[in-house]
C-alpha cells in the first residue's frame, strides 16, 4: 500500500510525499528501498556535494 502511494506521489511530482510513504514500507521490501534511494537522488542530485561525488565516480583514470 505504501509503495503504491509513494509511486503515485512521485508520478505527481511530489518527491517529498513519496519519500514519506517509502519510509512507511516494510523493512524487508527491497523494491521499496530501491525506489526510495532513486527518489532521494532526484532531490539531492544537483547539490554541490552530489556533483563532486558523481564527477569522481564517473571520472576516467589518468593515463600513465
pTM: 0.62
| DSSP one-letter code for 1 | -
Query: Could you give the CA distance from residue 45 to residue 42 in angstroms, rounded to a whole number?
Result: 5
Query: Could you give the CA distance from residue 33 to residue 48 in angstroms, rounded to a whole number?
Result: 25
What per-residue confidence (pLDDT) applies to 17?
A: 94
pLDDT by residue for the chain (64 residues), tens digit each? 999 999 999 999 898 999 999 999 999 999 999 999 888 877 655 667 767 776 777 765 555 4
Average pLDDT of the chain is: 82
What per-residue confidence (pLDDT) applies to 60?
A: 58
Q: Which helix (H) or strand (E) holds 37?
A: helix 30-44
What per-residue confidence (pLDDT) applies to 56?
A: 77
Amino acid at each position: 500500500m505504501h509503495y503504491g502511494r509513494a509511486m503515485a506521489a512521485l508520478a505527481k511530482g511530489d518527491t517529498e510525499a513519496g519519500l514519506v510513504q517509502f519510509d512507511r514500507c516494510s523493512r524487508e521490501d527491497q523494491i521499496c528501498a530501491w525506489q526510495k534511494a532513486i527518489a532521494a537522488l532526484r532531490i539531492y542530485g544537483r547539490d554541490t556535494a552530489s556533483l563532486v561525488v558523481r564527477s569522481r565516480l564517473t571520472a576516467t583514470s589518468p593515463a600513465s
